[in-house]
Chain A
Amino acid sequence: MPRLSQWIIRAALIYLLSGITIGALLLAHKGAPFLPVLWVWLPAHIEFLLMGWIVQLTLGVAFWILPRYWQQPRRPHEGYALIAFVLLNLGIWLVVAGTTFRAGAWVLFTGRLAEVGAVLFFAAHAWGRIVSREGA
């Protein structure tokens, strides 16, 4: 597993832990209310788990396991994948700032924009690696 995948997957596991900690508190609160302000964290729960965990884990595994080129660099445009990783995490935090921390609609918008950018950069990295065994 390449170094960049290791970072991405560790980040995904940390978002999983953070996201389910919020989720578990919310569920417990639904059963035995103790802290109504917890509901403000619902958008963070959703963002951490859908973007931080599921999407991020998928990208980390794809960077590792998609077919590699025969020649160096075996993984093309590695820099694009790194940019995708940075943008995705920036995006997650801007979205959480814009929702849970009420930093404003444009912060939320910028976060979503960073996430779109992350996906485009990752696609630019991965496109050429999505091939059949014959390389076509």
Chain B
Amino acid sequence: MPTLTRWYIKSALVYLAVALILALLLALPATVNLPLFIRFMTPVYFHLFLVGWVTQMIFGVIYWMFPIITRVQPRGNVQIGWLSYALLNAGLLLRMIGEPLVATQSAAGLGWLLVVSALLQWLGIVFFVYLAWPRVKEKYRGG
């Protein structure tokens, strides 16, 4: 299993655990006095689950298992893979903090956090698709 895949899959598992802990907190009845910050984390919960866990798990397995391109550079440019990993995770973590912050302190002028987070996640996924696209093909048969 390539190192990049191990990072994707281990990170995915951590996101799954965090997402489900957050889901538990959100499932507490409204009478429980949770910090407002947590109450505003519903979209964060979905996206830790769907981007952090599901999508990142898929990325790790695609990078590992899809047909290789050539023996010399089987999985394309791995630097792009690391860049994609870093951008996606930085963007998602920034959303995790930024989205509830913007919701609870709307006067603080922190909206740009979400703009940056959106851009980082978008770039991270675009780089991954760029890397994966040429590997959607027949099995490698030499040459």
Contacts from A to B (Cβ < 8 Å): 1, 6, 9-10, 13, 16-17, 20-21, 23-28, 30-32, 49-50, 53-54, 57
Is B126 positioned at the interface, with any CB of A under 8 Å from its CB? yes
Report the minimal beta-carbon distance from B22 to chain A, rounded to whole angstroms: 18
Which residues of chain B come closer than 8 Å to A16, judged between CB atoms?
55, 125, 129
Instruction: Name, among B98, B111, B139, the residue most crowded by chain A CB atoms within 10 Å (CB to CB).
Output: B111
Q: Quick one: given A20-B125, A27-B95, A31-B102, are A13 and B132 in contact (CB under 8 Å)? A: yes
Size of the chain B interface, CB-CB below 8 angstroms? 30
Are A9 and B136 closer than 8 Å at their CB atoms?
Answer: yes
Chain A residues near B125 (CB-CB < 8 A):
16-17, 20
Residues of B contacting A28 in the complex (Cβ-Cβ under 8 angstroms): 114-115, 118-119
Residues of B participating in the A interface, judged by any CB pair closer than 8 Å: 50, 54-55, 58, 66-67, 95, 98-99, 102, 110-115, 117-119, 121-122, 125-126, 129, 132-133, 136-139
A1 x B67 contact (CB < 8 A): yes
In the bound complex, how far is the Cα of B142 from the Cα of A62, in angstroms?
25
Q: Specify the main secondary structure of chain A where it touches its partner.
A: helix
Tell whether A49 pairs with B118 under 8 Å between CB atoms, given A13-B136, A16-B125.
Answer: no
Which residue from chain B places its CB closest to the CB of A17 in the assembled complex?
B129
CB pair A1–B138 under 8 Å, yes or no, is yes
Say which residue of B50, B115, B136 sits within 8 Å of A6 (CB atoms): B136
CA distance A25 to B121 in the complex (A): 11
Query: Is the beta-carbon distance between B119 and A24 smaller than 8 angstroms?
Result: yes
Q: Do A30 and B136 form a contact, CB below 8 Å, given A13-B129, A16-B129, A20-B122? A: no
Say how far B135's CB is from chain A's closest CB, in angstroms: 9
Smallest Cβ distance from B50 to chain A, in angstroms?
7
Given the interface contacts A17-B126, A21-B122, A31-B102, does A10 sit within 8 Å of B117 by beta carbon?
A: no
Closest to B67 in A: A1
- In the complex the two chains form, what is the Cα distance from A103 to B126 in whole Å? 31
Given contacts A1-B139, A32-B115, 16 further A-B contacts (CB under 8 A): A9-B136, A13-B133, A17-B125, A17-B129, A20-B121, A24-B119, A25-B118, A26-B118, A27-B95, A27-B115, A27-B117, A28-B114, A28-B119, A30-B111, A32-B114, A54-B58
